Amino acid sequence: MHPVLRRIYAARGIVHFAEIEHRLAAMASPAALGGIEEACELLASAIRDNRQIIIVGDFDCDGASGTAVAVRGLRLLGAQRVGYRVPNRQAHGYGLSTALVATLLEPTPELIVTVDNGIASIAGVAAARARGIDVLVTDHHLPGPVLPAANAIVNPNLDGDRFPSKAIAGVGVMFCILVALRAHLRGAGWFADGRAEPDLGVLLDLVALGTVADLVALDFNNRILVEAGLKRIRSQRACAGILALLRVAGRDAKNLVPADLGFAVAPRINAAGRLEDMALGIECLLSDDQAQADELAARLSAINTERREVQASMIEQGEAAVSRWIATHGQQQLPCGLTLFESDWHPGVVGLVASRLKDRLHRPVVACAPASEGSSEVRASARSIRGIHVRDMLAEVDVRKPGLIQRFGGHAMAAGLTLDRAGVAEFAAEFDAVVRERAAANLFEPVLLSDGELAADDFTLDLARELRFAGPWGQAFAEPLFDNAFELESWRRVGTRHWKLKLRPCGHAAPVDAILFNAEPGTTPPTLFRAAFQLDINEWNGRESLQLILRHLEPG
């Protein structure tokens, strides 16, 4: 192993080879999940009795890929009557809501299986059970003080659950249930009379997509799932939809890395749930016809282009609002927990606005929009920074001001909530107060963690290749980032905001190519500076060359 890579692994707590040997055999046992036996019995009974099963997913990429895994997996295991529904953001709200349950008429389900949602669906589960429908909740979001009255719940984040990977995504939970269900059916003799026992590994491309897209921590178990899925995609054994989405995004499946899923495939799936109907994304992931998948991928790409335009306009409005605040009150008075609301914002895009402003301002941001035109209900998305658990902050607001937040749920870094329009200003003040009281002041100072300097002979294409596939890199298992001092030899603008540079690492003889994306308008690179960068491979006209991607630079 290259000494630099050994150093990188050690910095991430990896000290034994077994911790980077991402074999499926080392995956955490699904048997450790609480509620797994009850879930398997529910599903096995539904399959044996040919009951109507409806999968209810979330309207993000984790939910879409998890829905596709559930539908494909149950069909592989012998279910004949499996369909799905995904809530419309504007019409039904989040998860298994009473509004969604009321629409489940043709065909009327005998079993509802939630994927990536349901742990907060108290009323929705009750409405389904009142109609005589069994409910299996599969989720990974943090539970509230009251659990839904489902027939069975599988969620590794329930109190006392023994499953070791608390960071597993919703799609990963569903995959684990299918693995456990296959063992349950095997033990019951389901495959003894000529039925083929399926290879559930064919679903791992979808598991990798949802896991990367949901930005969950890539702990050992999640790295196993992601790496297995990446291998399927690189070998062209992925489902038609993923391959079509990669083609329309101009990404090479053979050299796929997690960032390609996170920045090229997932946004196209998510765009359907944000602006139109997530069923488009799910249908793309369920299609086995390449021509149909290509058509759906093209539609999703067009919706994503529209989403980018809407997002850019909303971010511009949000940044203008922040600038006005700073001009009036001063930078020091900017709220520690910032809430923004515009009456013409789209509720499907507020999460992206919150994320962009959170990165720029380095503080938790809640972005709000009317649930629909003229509605008094406000849908909001919260995004947070390292060290500030945004769901806990919302829970504290809820304790201090009961009823102010109508519904909320989520993770440490991201959450969703619903408010009444008349209460937005009160929420903004209370959210800021809670964050200001609960968060240490140093958390608001942005920090870049580096893997240190590279020596002269480490600026090589071979090391860049080794690092590319040494992950999978992602959330909480950061892609290697180095820092060195550089002399500027030459540079030019690419487009309107990017810099293409030729740099000489200080004290080294050979220059290297580099690129900086989204430079500040009107600025030029200094002649001497220290930069944080990643080793990358530039592919052009069939040739590969070393290129540095600059993530941050400081003169000096």
330 phi and psi angles, rounded to 5 deg: 95, 150
User: Beta strands 111-115 and 134-138: pairing type?
Assistant: parallel
369 & 497 share domain: no
399 & 517 share domain: no
- To the question of pTM greater than 0.85 for the whole model, the response is yes
* Per-residue pLDDT at 150: 98
Question: What's the total number of domains in the chain?
Answer: 3
Question: Left, alpha or beta for 194 (phi > 0: left; psi -120 to 50: alpha)?
Answer: left
Strand partners, 365: 338, 383
From 417, 444, 471, the end of a domain falls on 444
SS3 211: helix
103 & 196 share domain: yes
User: Beta strands 528-540 and 512-516: pairing type?
Assistant: unpaired
460 & 404 share domain: no
169 & 46 share domain: yes
Residue 139 domain-assigned (yes or no): yes
366 & 436 share domain: yes
Q: Are 464 and 546 in contact (CB under 8 A)?
A: yes
DSSP-derived letter for residue 477 is B
Residue 320 domain-assigned (yes or no): no
Residue 303 domain-assigned (yes or no): no
* Per-residue pLDDT at 409: 84
Q: Which two tokens stand for residue 306?
A: 């529209």
* Per-residue pLDDT at 92: 82
Peptide bond into 107 cis (omega under 30): yes
429 & 542 share domain: no
* Per-residue pLDDT at 393: 96
Q: Are 263 and 62 in contact (CB under 8 A)?
A: no
Q: Are 74 and 82 in contact (CB under 8 A)?
A: yes
CATH number, domain of 380, equals 3.10.310.30
Peptide bond into 472 cis (omega under 30): yes
Q: What is the DSSP string of 101-165?
A: HHH--TTPPSEEEEES--TT-HHHHHHHHHTT-EEEEE--SPP-SS----SEEE-TTSTT---S-
Residue 473 domain-assigned (yes or no): yes
* Per-residue pLDDT at 276: 85
From 232, 248, 265, the end of a domain falls on 232
39 & 177 share domain: yes
* Per-residue pLDDT at 372: 85
C-alpha count within 13 angstroms, C-beta hemisphere, residue 62: 22
* Per-residue pLDDT at 510: 86
Give residue-wise pLDDT tens across range 336-365.
999 999 999 999 999 999 999 999 999 999
396 phi and psi angles, rounded to 5 deg: -65, -40
Q: Which two tokens stand for residue 126?
A: 């009750």
Angle (nearest 5°) at CA 65 between 62 and 68: 145
SS3 532: strand
433 & 460 share domain: no
Residue 306 domain-assigned (yes or no): no
91 & 163 share domain: yes
Residue 223 domain-assigned (yes or no): yes
> Quick count: other Cβ atoms within 10 Å of Cβ 549?
17
194 & 51 share domain: yes
Spatial distance between the Cα atoms of 59 and 57, rounded to a whole number of angstroms: 7
Residue 106 domain-assigned (yes or no): yes
Give residue-wise pLDDT tens across range 223-259.
999 999 999 999 999 999 999 999 999 999 999 999 9
Residue 309 domain-assigned (yes or no): no
CATH number, domain of 510, equals 2.40.50.460
pLDDT tens for the chain, 556 residues: list them.
Answer: 999 999 999 999 999 999 999 999 999 999 999 999 999 999 999 999 999 999 999 989 999 999 999 999 999 999 999 999 998 877 787 889 999 999 998 889 999 999 999 999 999 999 999 999 999 999 999 898 999 999 999 999 999 999 999 999 999 999 999 999 999 999 999 998 788 999 999 999 999 999 999 989 999 999 999 999 999 999 999 999 999 999 999 999 999 999 999 999 999 999 998 888 899 999 999 999 999 999 999 999 999 999 999 999 999 999 999 999 999 999 888 999 999 999 999 999 999 999 999 999 999 999 999 998 888 999 999 999 999 999 999 999 999 999 999 988 888 888 999 999 999 999 999 999 999 999 999 999 988 999 999 998 899 999 999 999 999 999 999 999 999 999 999 999 998 889 999 999 987 778 999 999 988 888 899 999 999 999 999 988 889 999 999 999 999 8
From 216, 232, 248, the end of a domain falls on 232
Q: Which two tokens stand for residue 40?
A: 């398997």
Q: Distances in Å between the alpha carbon of 356 and those of 352, 439, 510?
A: 6, 21, 37
DSSP-derived letter for residue 263 is I
88 & 59 share domain: yes
* Per-residue pLDDT at 296: 97
Domain residues for 195? Answer: 30-232
CATH number, domain of 66, equals 3.90.1640.30
Q: What is the DSSP string of 42-85?
A: HHHHHHHTT--EEEE--SSHHHHHHHHHHHHHHHHTT-S-EEEE
* Per-residue pLDDT at 509: 74
Q: Annotate 186-209 with b (16+ C-beta within 10 A) or e (fewer).
A: eeeebbeeeeeebebbebbbbbbb
Spatial distance between the Cα atoms of 268 and 273, rounded to a whole number of angstroms: 9
* Per-residue pLDDT at 495: 84
* Per-residue pLDDT at 239: 97
Which amino acid would we find at residue 214?
Answer: D
* Per-residue pLDDT at 355: 94
**Both ends of the chain: CA-CA distance in Å?**
34
C-alpha count within 13 angstroms, C-beta hemisphere, residue 285: 34
C-alpha count within 13 angstroms, C-beta hemisphere, residue 59: 28
Q: Which two tokens stand for residue 229?
A: 């899925």
